[in-house]
Amino acid sequence: MKTYVVSGAASGIGAATAALLREQGDRVITVDLRDADVVADLATAEGRAEAVAGVQALTDVVHGVVPAAGVAGSPGVDSSLIVSVNFFGAVALVRGLQPQLAAAAGASVVFLASNSITGMPGWRGSVADLCLAGDEEAARADASQAESFMVYPGTKAALAWWARREGITEPWIGAGIRMNSVAPGMVDTPMTDKLLADPEMGPLVAAYPSAVGRPGRPEEIAAVILFLLSDASSLMIGSVVYADGGTDAMFHPQAPAGWDVR
């Protein structure tokens, strides 16, 4: 039995990931605002410290971390909150648990990116740059100047890029810790339900194209996450795996675009 940490585990992809891990006999320590083993708010520095300390109080060894907690870019959502939760909350949890991951002598981290990185033109690249620079205050300030749906892809791109940049360094792969990302498209979750109910965003979300003709299911994304956590993906470091029903391939039949957005 291995021990995994999943944030955002109260619903959606996080809940599905925790369920699949438990089904295969593993221990899962959940982190969320409610209904979790460790109740903490990853939007704040204090909450992140509480989350890390809470996990460390429960285990000395962590075989994998899935920071799935996130905030959608929907009308009425504070753009700066998206920055704090989606990027800084996820990175702080992973960094804080680096000693426990290293103790596993072969661990894996899987971030939740998004196909909006390549599927949504014109998103706010400056947010991603400031996230990667580690300047939360400046990133929040920059995000507040844009609509939340243009900030969301920036935070997800920053996660994927951070995993690529840091994943090949001594503190991570040198310690036997692999970092990768999965990039879902539209998935049938409570977050998507809220978007569909919005009079402005709903029609756009409903028209979202997919080669399979339907939204993804949380357990389908969870299955990809479990693969990336497993030894079967031992050669994958810094990869971004698209699991979006073919949406990105429909937009970019030859090569994805958008990674160089500025």
Residues annotated as part of the active site: 152
User: What gap in Å lies between CA 29 and CA 18, rounded to an integer?
Assistant: 8
| Rg of the chain, C-alpha, whole Å | 17
Burial group, residue 218, by CB count within 10 angstroms (0-12, 13-18, 19+): buried
Report the alpha-carbon distance of residue 63 to residue 67 in Å, rounded.
Answer: 13
Nearest to 232 by CA among 162, 180, 189: 180
- Phi first, then psi: give them for residue 194, nearest 5 degrees: -65, -40
Whether 183 and 247 have beta carbons less than 8 Å apart is answered as no
